[in-house]
Amino acid sequence: MVHAITLFAALLTSFQVPPASPPPPPTPVPVPSMFMGEIAAGGGSLFVFFTVESTPAGSPRVVVTMPAAGAMAQAAESVGIDGDRLTFTVASQGVRGRFEGRVTEGRYAGELRLSAPNQPEARAKFDLPESVLAPEVEGAVAYRGRLEVGGGGIEMVVVLARDADKGPVASIDIPMQGIDGWPLVVEGVEAGTWRLLLPVGLAAPSFELSEIDDASRLEGVLRQGGAELPLAMARLERYEHGRLSRPQHPQPPFPYTARDVEWRHPHGHRLAGTLTLPAAASAEQPVPGVVLVSGSGAQDRDETIFGHKPFLVLADALTRGGIAVLRYDDRGVGGSGGDFGLADTFDFASDADAATEFLKELPEIDASNVGILGHSEGGLVAPIVAKWQREQGKPETMLAFAVLLAGPGVPGDAILQVQMRRLLEAGGATEEELVPVLESQSRLLAAAKAGDLAEMQNSARDLVVSQAALNLGAELDNEVLLESAAGAVAEMQSKWMQTFLKLDPAPLLAEMGIPTLAVIGSLDRQVDPEQNLPRIEAALRQGGAPFEVRRLEGLNHLFQPATTGGIDEYGAIETTIDPAAIALIVDWVRRTTGVAANAAAVDRAP
């Protein structure tokens, strides 16, 4: 515990004492900077790395990654810098962590205070060295390779460098897992052989890679959970960290207005986002508006995934088409408050509901013509919000329309079973290899819905074993097996999962009563079109409102032109959203809101 000590100076009047020289001011926290290391807490350890940055407004920003705590490139709250003192808070999965410490001699040392509902506060000391991202070091060398697992492959890039002050440093990109520029722990470098660790839990993968042929390539192994897989990597002549080719990302100047906005949820937490307004929008000439709602997982306002920003692209296209667009950070992400880890689909629907109400109150917006565009789980949120707003008895301002992009039409347990099959098939798994995985998953989902803990534990162990045999071709260490199974059980027991498994979208879709566009790509391996589109269409037909249901050929879950539809393709495809899909969405929204009939009010792209 840190105690405050008050010093009292005696007043000396009998003689004069020469004034003491004031102590030198503390060295301020360096901006930008990065710190990384492990914090011993709760009988285990948390690997953390974070960057201290400056925003365009000049205020400090801290971005934190703690994989074991579920914080992934998450903007911290309540960031404060006072001389060498740095404080910030990270909220994730129901736990709030308050970092308080000082930066001296290249280290950030202090105390982490952990708090959770109905739990006593826990404290842990930390001492994290300042580090540097390998790609930023002069002379850094990047290598690309493909790890062959389970009939498929995982592309990755490892960057190695020797910093004059920090010594050997390394980082890794794994696009299909959303890992971009993560620092690796360098455990040692001997005779051109690098021993590296990616500390992401008990089954943390380690690398042993040797420089071959004057460092033109690397050869070695990756070890994880008892498996040892060969890995060969070739040197890249050019590598630009964080600059994946994303040609559809819009660049200024824009023919519309964009501004950051904030509003309060009725439950008290803050939501933050970006509003884009057609130039012609005004109180005298209000325009229709649409709120973009992201899919499952903690998402920022652009729904950033694998270097793509789908909501940024859609917002640009819709606003150029004369529609105001509000996109926002999920609760607990970026500028939004609240706790993501304790929320379920209904909580996310309440955030979307609050966003539509905020949008309707703006003078430039036609409050009778506001809708929701939801992707994946966002396509489940939209009918919930439509139901609530109809029940609130305000027909003149209820939700006016909905666009469901890869939204579900069946309950979550059915979604997950077909999703597992389709993803494994896309990775090349045979029917014989699929059987043990799918059988154990089916048992786990049934036990989760029934609340049978013993069966959940048994089926989770079987699922982990069968997945390891398929993906790694090896048995897991017992400790890793037990931890992985416990993690699967905890996920099944979470509030979000319990809601998702049991929630049937069909009755909600049938009760929407508003114009709706529903589209799914033919190569969507996460929300299967054959499983979901017929049920969505039947429910919307029952509701009686105008609707359009489309299967878009050759597109995946992100509506990219794809080959297999597997997740491993997402980051490698340069297209963020197929242009034809964008045109379909924009055209439908413009026709439904009446903008297309008043082309003079539309701001066209230059």
Would you state the CATH architecture of domain 134-235?
A: Beta Barrel (2.40)
Model pLDDT, residue 241: 60
User: What 3-state DSSP class applies to 244?
Assistant: coil
Model pLDDT, residue 212: 94
Q: Do domains 33-131 and 134-235 have the same CATH topology?
A: yes
Alpha carbon distance 92, 71 (integer Å): 6
Other Cβ atoms within 10 Å of 197 Cβ, number? 16
Alpha carbon distance 133, 140 (integer Å): 10
**E-state strands within 198-316:** 206-212, 217-224, 227-235, 256-264, 270-278, 287-293
Q: Which of 207, 365, 182 is nearest to 286 (CA)?
A: 365
Model pLDDT, residue 147: 85
User: What 3-state DSSP class applies to 327?
Assistant: strand
Tokens of 52: 């201290």
Q: Crossing angle of helices 478-493/495-502, nearest 10°?
A: 60
Mean pLDDT by 10 residues, the chain (606 residues): 29 39 75 91 80 83 82 81 94 80 95 80 92 91 84 82 93 78 92 91 84 94 85 86 75 93 92 95 96 91 87 97 96 84 93 96 96 97 95 82 97 95 87 92 95 94 87 71 86 94 96 96 96 97 96 98 89 91 98 80 38
State the DSSP code for 532.
Answer: H
Domains of the chain, by residue range, sit at 33-131, 134-235, 256-410+504-594, 412-500
User: What 3-state DSSP class applies to 481?
Assistant: helix
- Among left, alpha and beta (phi > 0; psi -120 to 50; other), residue 42 is left
On whether the CB atoms of residues 515 and 401 are closer than 8 A, the answer is yes
On whether the CB atoms of residues 273 and 301 are closer than 8 A, the answer is yes
Is cis: bond before 19, omega within 30 of 0?
no
Which CATH code for domain 33-131?
2.40.128
User: What residue type is 533 in one-letter code?
Assistant: L
Which CATH code for domain 256-410+504-594?
3.40.50.1820
User: What residue type is 257 in one-letter code?
Assistant: T
Model pLDDT, residue 93: 63
3-state secondary structure string across 61-85: EEEEEEHHHCEEEEECEEEEEECCE
How many residues can be counted in the chain? Answer: 606
